[in-house]
Amino acid sequence: MANLITHSLSFNKESINEYFIKPLFVENDIRDLVDIRLDIKSGEKLDFVDNLEKITKAYAQGTSFTSSTGVTITQKTLSVADMKAEVQQNGKAFLNYVKQAALQKGYSENDINGTLFEEIVLSVFMDGLKADLQRQVWFGDTLKENRTSDITIGTPDLDYNNYDGFWVRIMEDIAATTIPAAQYTNINSTTYLSTAAVAEVDTVTVTGTAGTANITINGTAYLATFASDLTTTAANFVTSHAATILAREGGIVVTSSGADVIVTAGIAGSQISTAIANVSGILAGSVADTTASVEMGALKTDGAKTALKAVYDSMPPVLKKNKKMAKFMVTSSVADNYRDSLETGAHDGAQMKLIDGIEKLFFRGIEVVEMLDWDERIESDFGSVRKHRILLTIPKNLVVGHDGSSDDGDIELFYDQTTQNNFFRCEYKIGTQYIHPDYICAAY
């Protein structure tokens, strides 16, 4: 295995005791924003008990009184995945480095135990663990695919596909109306944005009278087989492959019309790539970019304030009753636009406060937490799709399952004399779930 740290530096006289680690965009510790459940080896059932009210009625004697019913208990499963991080480092990799004098001597030169280099590697490793946990807890997606030029290519993204994070769970349940539609604000509108995102549409027109052809959609080829006529051929392709394609990341929708196979991006602003190539016989075709993809634009003036109000207004009564415990979690794009609104002087400056030396934002008394790392992840790993996001919930409603309270911070360090490498290893279990749909309001 390759060294974690390599360099192409030459030795010169500089400080041998100081070093700087490149900062990561990890602003908020996940433990401040969720409920941590411990001692979970594989999974745990989370109980959701209905509220009880209107049980008090006029007096009636004995069995003539009608008892109340209707309270049900439903459950969600919090499952955890086994995670592991490991890096190796050989001391000789630091030769000719300004701090080489800190290396041990002789055969021990490979062993960085107790040296400055162990401290440097450990700092880098710990920062990486923290960043990974934050990233996967929010954006983990078992369907996540690798991307080239912001287009999914059909191969699994091993940095994200271990378990589903909160955003996938929330978005899927909003789409399924498990979270009521009234608690979702569609921010992809010129009510909030300078430009609304547009879903790309590609049209594949099939030609020929016999044979087979591959229609390749976002890196994966799907076989079309001629059957009686081109209309039937296109319809059969949809019957054979539409469900599989829909189940991929992004939920691409495939339909047919006559000899056309119509490929539509499942999310406005996400890009698709479509091609057709002959495999046998003379079945072939052409592809037209019927509707070009348009990326979500910037928030317009007061767009974030308007969106925050819409999310606030979408709260069901049970969440509004507990709003003192609630928090808005937002992308930096939303936070910055909201700051702009507050700084114009046209709005209540009390919504921006300095608490213990830290600037905090509020909307109608609810803290607005800026999630700096969200923007970076959405831009770098998700093609800037749905880049303005707001989540309003009670932190205790978001559950992260762990085995031990600090497993993600317990590092195994050892030097292996056979390989002459230093090992840094961490293993832990983790998973996500939310409990009450009534405590979730979102905009994206």
Q: Which residues contact 80 (CB under 8 A, 6 or more apart)?
A: 40, 41, 42, 43, 163, 401, 402, 403, 429, 430, 431
d(CA 395, CA 374): 17
Per-residue buried b or exposed e for 363-399, using 16+ beta carbons within 10 Å of the residue's own CB: beebebbbbebbbbbbeebbbbbbbbbbbbbbbebbb
Longest Cα separation, the chain: 96
d(CA 428, CA 81): 8
pLDDT band at 64 (very low <50, low <70, confident <90, very high): confident
387-394: average pLDDT:
98
Q: What is the pLDDT of residue 119?
A: 82
CA distances from 130 to 24, 36, 161, 377, 410 (A): 9, 15, 18, 14, 12
Rounded to a whole number, what is the distance in angstroms from the first to the last CA of the chain?
41
| β pairing state of 201-207 and 260-264 | antiparallel
**36 vs 16, which has greater pLDDT?**
36
* Segments in 322-367 forming alpha helices (H): 332-343
d(CA 307, CA 292): 27
Half-sphere exposure of 164 (CA within 13 A, CB side): 15
d(CA 134, CA 276): 40
| β pairing state of 398-402 and 35-37 | parallel
Q: Which residues pair with 83 in a beta bridge?
A: 428
**CB-based contact 393:441 (threshold 8 Å):** yes
d(CA 250, CA 217): 12
Among the listed residues 411, 415, 430, 429, the one whose alpha carbon sits nearest the alpha carbon of residue 124 = 411
Q: Which residues pair with 89 in a beta bridge?
A: 422
**CB-based contact 246:254 (threshold 8 Å):** yes
d(CA 27, CA 371): 7
pLDDT per position as a tens digit, 295-311: 999 999 999 999 999 99
Among the listed residues 428, 392, 432, the one whose alpha carbon sits nearest the alpha carbon of residue 168 = 432
pLDDT per position as a tens digit, 153-207: 999 999 999 999 999 999 999 999 999 999 999 999 999 999 999 999 999 999 9
Among the listed residues 392, 265, 428, the one whose alpha carbon sits nearest the alpha carbon of residue 274 = 265
**For residue 157, what are its two tokens?**
């993204």
pLDDT per position as a tens digit, 107-137: 677 788 888 778 888 888 888 888 898 999 9
Q: Report phi then psi at 79, rounded to 5.
A: -100, 145
Any idea how long the chain is? 444
Of 55-64, 132-141, 192-201, 331-340, the one with minimum mean pLDDT is: 55-64
Of 164-168, 327-331, 434-438, the one with minimum mean pLDDT is: 434-438
Among the listed residues 187, 438, 436, 127, the one whose alpha carbon sits nearest the alpha carbon of residue 310 = 187
310-316: average pLDDT:
98
Q: What is the pLDDT of residue 48?
A: 65
Of 28-32, 267-271, 410-414, the one with minimum mean pLDDT is: 28-32
Domain extents for the chain? 201-291
- In which region does residue 360 sit, left (phi positive, over 0), alpha (psi from -120 to 50) or beta (all else)? beta
Q: Which range has the top average pLDDT, 6-10, 43-47, 100-104, 351-355?
A: 43-47
